[in-house]
């Protein structure tokens, strides 16, 4: 699987494959949920390499979001290309997923949100 994972300042940063489609979405969903369960529930999904995503891919991200929020965490998205951004807007998922230009800004946002509390 082409999911790459690293931790940055206690936040799980995960890069997804070039295509997130029905053929691999179940595996990606499982990997994302495992990472969330083993971590703090704070995840940034780096979509810089992802060129295409279908509804199965969207479902994998929503599943990760639900798992993170169960742990009082969240999932932020970074590096969406124009096609992916349009998909998230068309499905209204941009209203429940925070989108950032890069992973650094997304990681920082977790700490800004904590400092406001």
Mean model confidence pLDDT for the chain: 94
CATH 3.30.750.24, applies to 4-111: yes
Q: Which residues pair with 13 in a beta bridge?
A: 6, 44
Q: In the chain, where are the structural domains located?
A: 4-111
Q: Strand 4-8 relative to strand 11-15: parallel, antiparallel, unpaired?
A: antiparallel
How far is residue 101 CA from its own chain's centroid?
13
**pLDDT-based confidence at residue 54 (cuts at 50, 70, 90):** very high
Tens-digit pLDDT profile for residues 31-53: 999 999 999 999 999 999 999 99
Residues 11-38, mean pLDDT to the nearest whole number = 97
Go through the chain and tell me how many residues it has. 117
Q: What is the pTM of this model?
A: 0.94
């Amino acid at each position: 699987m082409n999911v790459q994972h690293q931790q940055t300042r206690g936040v799980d940063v995960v890069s997804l494959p070039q295509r997130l489609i029905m053929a691999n979405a179940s595996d990606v969903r499982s990997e994302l949920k495992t990472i969330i369960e083993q971590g703090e529930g704070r995840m940034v999904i780096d979509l810089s390499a992802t060129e295409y995503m279908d509804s199965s891919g969207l479902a994998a991200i929503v599943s990760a979001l639900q798992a993170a929020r169960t742990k009082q965490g969240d999932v932020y998205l970074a590096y969406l290309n124009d096609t992916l951004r349009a998909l998230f807007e068309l499905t209204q998922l941009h209203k429940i997923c925070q989108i950032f230009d890069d992973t650094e800004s997304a990681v920082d946002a977790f700490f800004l949100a904590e400092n406001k509390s």
